[in-house]
A and B are shown apart, each in its own frame.
Chain A
Amino acid sequence: MAPDFIKDCIECTGIVARHLQMSYCAEMQNCATTSQYAAEFQDVSLRRGDVLALQNVTLSMPRHSTTAILGTSGSGKSSLIQLIIGLLRPDSGKVQTLGENIADCELQNLRKRIGYAIQDVALFPHMKVGRNIVLPAVLHNRTGDETRKRLDELMQIMQLSPDILDRYPHELSGGQQQRAGLCRAMLLRPELLLLDEPFSGLDTMTRRAIHREFRTLRRLEPVSTIIVTHDPQEAVALAEQLVVMMAGTILQSGPTKDVMEHPANEYVQELCTGLG
């Protein structure tokens, strides 16, 4: 039953995405670059300390879909996402985000087009939740009715009640914190959403609920999404594209369905076992 449900969802999201692609692109007309890829890696290697975190990685992640990067800890998947947003620089090779080469573009401008949420430290502990969520708007002087409306909209999608806005992050449940983190990442309607293990550390029930809300969000706003996870179930549940990593290399990448049906090796096969 679960696989069917997932397939339905993927299909459904895909259709809506294609539908919305036109208007979405129209909105993006003003952008300097319109690459067909959300992120592209060309022969990228990265050393972190004594460890080769990435080894000759070549990879493209298409726009307007959700790509899951799946791997165990130490596989290099977090390095990948930090390269995309320019927190790290590759030792060799080229990383392009939204068509911009991160080595020679104005990072501040690029980052304004990206939403980012990570595990554990999703929200700043010294700010109330409401302040946390609207912080990106505060930073870029975009507070006002529009932001207020946007906040209400996101809160509704993520099933958050307005009274949490006046609380501090530690007063919220883990699930509420992650939902709030997502709202913040989506506040300024980014072109690219980067999620680094955003839902790990949550119990199964909560995670399922968030997955549901996330899919709703994606259906309504088909933003290009790259999500890093160690959980195959999560990857399959959320992503149309799948990248499987191990020890700094790509084992397999492609549409989720293809990867699951034709695993490239035993490791990938084992990951996919029982997922459909």
Chain B
Amino acid sequence: MLRFLPVVLLLTSPLAVAEAIVIGSKNFTENYILAEASAQLLESHGYEVRRRFGLNGTKIVFEALQNRALDFYPEYTGTITEVILERPGLTQLTEIRTALAQDDLILLSPLGFNNSYAIAVSETFAKTHQLRNISDLTRVGHVRVGLPHEFLSRNDGWPGLKQRYAIDLVATGIEHSLSYEAIASGKIDVTAVYSTDGEILRSRLVLLHDDLSYFPQYRAAFLARQDIAPPVRDILESLSGRIDDTRMQQLNLQVLDPAVSFADVASEFLLEEGLISSAQDVPGFMPRLWRNTQRHLKLTGIALLLAIVTGVGIAAAVHRSRRTANAFLYFTGLLQTVPSIALLALLIPWFGIGQTPAIIALFLYSLLPIARGTITAMLAIPPGYRHVAAAMAMSRQQEMRYVLMPLAMPHVIAGIRTAAVISIGTATLAAFIGAGGLGDPIVTGLALNDSSMILQGALPAAGLAILTELAFTGLESWLVVPHMRGRHARR
């Protein structure tokens, strides 16, 4: 029983503490680095910072900002006009700022680089044909073009580009991750890349200048709430203009080394720029693992406890009416069919991001196994026992306490056990909405395509699931007499 003590202690800690600056990031490398750099910079100025990194997509992170769940995060001008404002016509910063002001948001000064699509060729190919601009491609006779599938088909991709530059070339589709390999081995001459991709440096590619301004601008800048504290804003502004395309490519490349973390890269960058005086102490493997595990247990523990109280309570209340019991089971079953990532996203408008929506989602998922276990067990109790109980003039509570609950207990525990194991698995997804836990390294690992990083979250989560199984075996032997346990049950 003592192994539950840490969980119990965690449950008593409040969900949110004092005012800290909450920083978000999307779940790809570059956004992590920018967010981490801003976090470390603020920390060096003595601010308390909360990192809600690896949020899954623009919708989630932007809604979080609107709901005051975040103070700021790194965004791109193109994404703001295309996705957030849905006004692709806006190109000037001042126009964008005016539009954002209506939502009480502000875009700080751009950091410098532009992460847009770009047309890339190999260094030798550029030299041979003396290429600088995209329009230079029209001069070259035979060019083999291999493009990522998405770019090939998007209207604002290849078809539009061909039209704008009057290029008469045939392109073939190619997997994005293979395009560097293909161009390095000389199988293709031209491809499309993201302009700040670290691979550009590693594969020694040359980006052709978009001389007809075809590609929309995706200039990076911090998108913040308008009421952000002026000193904080000033500190963030000190980063503006410091990162050009090449610098960003370098930073992105550095992170590709599995031994180097976002925090390392960010802190090295800030040191080089003279913005901080000493590298931040990055927590080591064990403290990080412990912190993530603690958070994971907290999320699942609170959700499970709520689900036990609610699930068993409602099941006990409705089991006498088969119709109500079934309705309740259908409802909880329906919840189960909502994909977890969708459920998490749906909860954001009401509960923001972080631990609260994660706990609510886990709670909803835990309801079904617990309620089903309890109701099924109650319905399976031979009516004779109820008759005897009634004949003894037991009150409802006495019947529940002395007869129904003890008889149902093995199934109730089995339901809770299932819910606990499912929760531990599902809780890893909570990292996508900034709830932390063992999903954190998994989300980061996915962004970096770093499988050892993914395992840092996946293995402990699996271990935790096994420990939970064992703990429940212990719990069962404590609560249920031997001859009524599991498949040996005798009645």
Give chain A's interface residues, CB within 8 Å of chain B: 82, 85, 87, 107-109, 111-112, 114, 116-122, 124-127, 135-136, 139-140, 168, 170, 194
Which of A121, A127, A135, A140 is the one whose CB lies under 8 Å from B384? A121
Report Cα–Cα, A29/B333, bound state, in Å: 57
A121 contacts across to B, CB distance below 8 A: 382, 384-385, 388, 491
Which of A111, A126, A139 is the one whose CB lies under 8 Å from B484? A126
**Chain B residue total in the interface (Cβ 8 A):** 23
Main secondary structure on chain B at its contact with chain A?
helix
A107 contacts across to B, CB distance below 8 A: 393
Which of B382, B387, B394, B406 is the one whose CB lies under 8 Å from A126? B406
Q: Which of the listed residues B388, B406, B481, B491 has the most CB atoms from chain A within 10 Å of its own CB? A: B388
Give chain B's interface residues, CB within 8 Å of chain A: 382, 384-385, 387-388, 390-395, 398, 402-403, 406-407, 409, 480-481, 483-484, 490-491
Report Cα–Cα, A239/B409, bound state, in Å: 41
A108 contacts across to B, CB distance below 8 A: 393, 395
A194 contacts across to B, CB distance below 8 A: 391
Which of B385, B390, B407 is the one whose CB lies under 8 Å from A87? B390
For the complex of A and B, 3 pairs with smallest distance between CB atoms: A121-B384, A116-B391, A111-B393
B403 contacts across to A, CB distance below 8 A: 124
B393 contacts across to A, CB distance below 8 A: 107-109, 111-112, 139-140
Report Cα–Cα, A194/B391, bound state, in Å: 10
Asked if B407 and A114 sit within 8 Å, CB to CB, the answer is: no
Report the minimum CB–CB distance from B225 to chain A (whole Å).
Answer: 58
Question: Could you jot down 25 A-B contacts, CB within 8 Å?
Answer: A85-B391, A87-B387, A87-B391, A107-B393, A108-B393, A111-B390, A117-B388, A118-B384, A121-B384, A122-B388, A124-B403, A124-B406, A125-B407, A125-B490, A126-B406, A126-B407, A126-B409, A126-B480, A136-B392, A139-B392, A139-B394, A168-B481, A170-B483, A170-B490, A194-B391
Report Cα–Cα, A7/B387, bound state, in Å: 34
Q: Which of the listed residues A107, A120, A125 has the most CB atoms from chain B within 10 Å of its own CB? A: A125
Task: List 11 extra interface pairs beyond A124-B385, A127-B402, A139-B402, CB under 8 A.
Answer: A108-B393, A109-B393, A111-B393, A112-B393, A118-B384, A118-B387, A118-B388, A126-B409, A126-B481, A140-B393, A170-B483
Q: Closest chain A residue to B395 by CB distance?
A: A108
Report Cα–Cα, A196/B395, bound state, in Å: 22
Report Cα–Cα, A182/B370, bound state, in Å: 37
A118 contacts across to B, CB distance below 8 A: 384, 387-388
Q: Closest chain B residue to A111 by CB distance?
A: B393
Q: Which of the listed residues B382, B390, B393, B395 has the most CB atoms from chain A within 10 Å of its own CB? A: B393
Asked if B387 and A82 sit within 8 Å, CB to CB, the answer is: yes
Asked if B385 and A168 sit within 8 Å, CB to CB, the answer is: no
